[in-house]
A and B are shown apart, each in its own frame.
Chain A
């Protein structure tokens, strides 16, 4: 069943049909959000918020655009909001005294076939990280990326090039790579 047909079901009042859209697009959203935010909890929250916003705005979705691209645009906006919030949180938590934490700590889950890459992604400027993630984690064209981010195609190509250059430097490329 197409996304369009599912959306018609939801708009006809079948809320549960939305679960199909969640199943179909969740993994893609996870690839994007985790790599833009570098934090699993923030990513899950951003994805939840994005799906909720998409559901609430479903009646304004226009079928001229692919649902996946529309959802990605919402998700990218949620990630930008989460980044702004986490920058503020990180700044204040720099002073956190961990000796006062007398409780169990839930460690962030570790994943990724190239852990070093996941780590250095966080050190890219946000615009470069967003661009390279959208280009490859979601296999978008520069035209699609431009519609999603509001940036020009040439600017996005430049961001991706600079992201590669920065990643190469950060990873201290070795001959085997």
Chain B
């Protein structure tokens, strides 16, 4: 390195950063344990086991989508969001258990009576403003959508009329990125929590 400036930059880059709280490492291991419980042990990773897992994921998604229409009974009226178990009456116990541990159904609701279109964008759909539209109830004119989400934290916001991005007024938490921008936070627990 040629000069003092470069040495100082290098020294600053080598300095540790205080990332998150003491739980950051614990959260890594929580994900590892969850993963270990949901899939075959890493030592047994074979073409056969990988194919098996893919079929379970496919079923999981299918159940998430198919279960949406049966959800109204578990969503409290007027509630901001609620999570329930996946209906899996037609599935075997083993698969149903896997599904419950893998995805939770979460309903998001949004009041925007004048809006022509509302969608939700978030980590779960690559921040696409079109992939996950909300549907307006004909009588209450309230917008809603039910999502099948993995346990953990999810960041999202609503997209009104394809142009205006707003955080969820019902969200318990929001976070501001380092650049000052804000989004809503949603924590999905495991069904067994």
Contacts and interface: CB of A to CB of B under 8 A. Distances in A.
A82 to B, nearest CB: 10
**For chain A, which range describes its interface: under 10, 10 to 19, 20 to 34, or 35 or more residues?**
35 or more
B25 A173 contact: no
Contact of B18 (A15, A52, A109): A109
A100 B166 contact: yes
B128 to A, nearest CB: 9
A58 to B, nearest CB: 5
Interface stretch (B81-89, B99-107, B141-149, B178-186): B178-186
Interface string B53-82: 000000000000000000000000000000
Interface in A21-47: 22-23, 26-27, 30-31, 33-35, 38-44, 47
Contacts, number: 182
Interface string B154-188: 01010100011111010111111111011100000
Interface in B11-36: 12-20, 24-25, 27-29, 31-33, 35-36
Contacts of B16: 27, 30-31
Interface residues of A: mostly helix, strand, loop or mixed? helix
Interface residues of B, number: 56
B8 A177 contact: yes
Interface stretch (B40-48, B90-98, B131-139): B40-48
A133 B172 contact: no
B82 to A, nearest CB: 18
A1 interface: no
A47 B169 CA distance: 30
A19 B33 CA distance: 10
Contacts of B6: 164
B28 A22 contact: yes
A34 B173 contact: no
A96 B167 contact: yes
Contact of A23 (B25, B27, B35, B179): B25
Given A96-B167, A111-B17, 17 more contacts: A15-B33, A41-B177, A43-B19, A51-B28, A92-B121, A101-B174, A101-B182, A103-B167, A106-B173, A108-B175, A108-B177, A109-B20, A112-B17, A133-B13, A136-B9, A136-B13, A168-B5
